[in-house]
Amino acid sequence: MITLRPAAERGQASYGWLDTRHSFSFASYYDRNHMHWGPLRVINDDIIAGGGGFDTHPHHDMEILTYVLSGALQHRDSLGTGSVIRPGEVQLMSAGHGIAHSEFNHSDSEPVHLLQIWIMPKFTGVKPGYQQTEFAAAEKRGKLRLVASGDGAEGSVKMWQDAKVYAALIDGNESVTHATDPQRHVYIHIARGSVHLNGQPLQAGDGARILGESALTLDQGQDAEVLVFDMAWDGR
């Protein structure tokens, strides 16, 4: 079963310095039909104006992925980490038993466009941690590149959940097929461009909840950048 989540139906908010879209309930946006999908709790599509950002704030017991699409994001946290995240890089902050961080546009004039993704961990109260890895465009061109996983396979960032996150760049005649376990929760998010999922057209910002399918095909892409989440979920 594939259930589409059109971009236009997402929650949205604008604060001057921030324009954001929420695929799942977040902050003042509440939709009991879109609370989470398996352990996937948040996909926020954020555009932060030059000089803008989130002041220091706390998190706990959440795996937080940051995926920058354009521009650059400045990160600082209570572990002493300071970094700049750019397109092609994946940041994972394991909040564990508690961490505080800030995120600001690295530029005073140009916007930064990013996805902030929260995945509920399998274990709570773990030691907080930070990882950041670059994945070259060639590794994602016409193929699924594992960028985050529960075991750190293939150089992916390692999170506290039985989940795999893949990134792909699909254009023209390129086609990607992903074999899935029908018992696992799968979610697809179109970060940019357009693509077909098992024959159904999807545009930037669209998502799809998938359960009970054995294979997924992404093709007919037009400058598409796609994230695929393949997750076990026992409800805990």
Per residue in 171-185, pLDDT (tens digit) is 999 999 999 999 999
234: left (phi > 0), else alpha (psi -120 to 50), else beta? alpha
| Burial of 52 from C-beta contacts in 10 A (0-12 / 13-18 / 19+) | middle
Residue 114 lies in a domain: yes
pLDDT confidence bin for 131, thresholds 50/70/90: very high
Per residue in 148-179, pLDDT (tens digit) is 999 999 999 999 999 999 999 999 999 999 99
Look at residue 235 and give its three-state secondary structure: coil
Residue 145 scores a pLDDT above 90: yes
Q: How far apart are CA 188 and CA 200, in angstroms?
A: 12
Q: How far apart are CA 88 and CA 67, in angstroms?
A: 8
Residue 235 scores a pLDDT above 80: no
What pLDDT was estimated at residue 223? 98
Q: How far apart are CA 72 and CA 236, in angstroms?
A: 35
Residue 236 lies in a domain: no
Look at residue 51 and give its three-state secondary structure: coil
Per residue in 80-104, pLDDT (tens digit) is 999 999 999 999 999 999 999 999 9
What pTM value is reported for the model? 0.97
Instruction: Name which of 31, 44, 25, 51 is nearest 227 in CA terms.
Output: 44
Q: How far apart are CA 156 and CA 58, in angstroms?
A: 25
Domain count, the chain: 1
Residue 199 lies in domain: 2-231
DSSP state string for 62-98: -EEEEEEEES-EEEEETTS-EEEE-TTEEEEEE-TT-
What pLDDT was estimated at residue 115? 98
Residue 135 scores a pLDDT above 80: yes
Look at residue 137 and give its three-state secondary structure: helix
Exposure string over 55-75, b if 16+ CB within 10 A, otherwise e: eeeebebbbbbbbbbebbbbb
pLDDT confidence bin for 54, thresholds 50/70/90: very high
Q: How far apart are CA 232 and CA 236, in angstroms?
A: 11
pLDDT confidence bin for 205, thresholds 50/70/90: very high
Mean pLDDT computed over 20-32: 97
At 127, list the tokens.
């030691």
Taking only Cα atoms into account, the Rg of the chain, rounded to an integer number of angstroms, comes to 17
Q: How far apart are CA 133 and CA 85, in angstroms?
A: 9
Look up the CATH number of the domain holding residue 138: 2.60.120.10
pLDDT confidence bin for 6, thresholds 50/70/90: very high
* pLDDT > 70: percent of the chain: 100
pLDDT confidence bin for 11, thresholds 50/70/90: very high
Max Cα separation, the chain? 47
Residue 30 scores a pLDDT above 90: yes
Residue 189 lies in a domain: yes
Residue 195 lies in a domain: yes
Q: How far apart are CA 210 and CA 139, in angstroms?
A: 25
pLDDT confidence bin for 236, thresholds 50/70/90: low
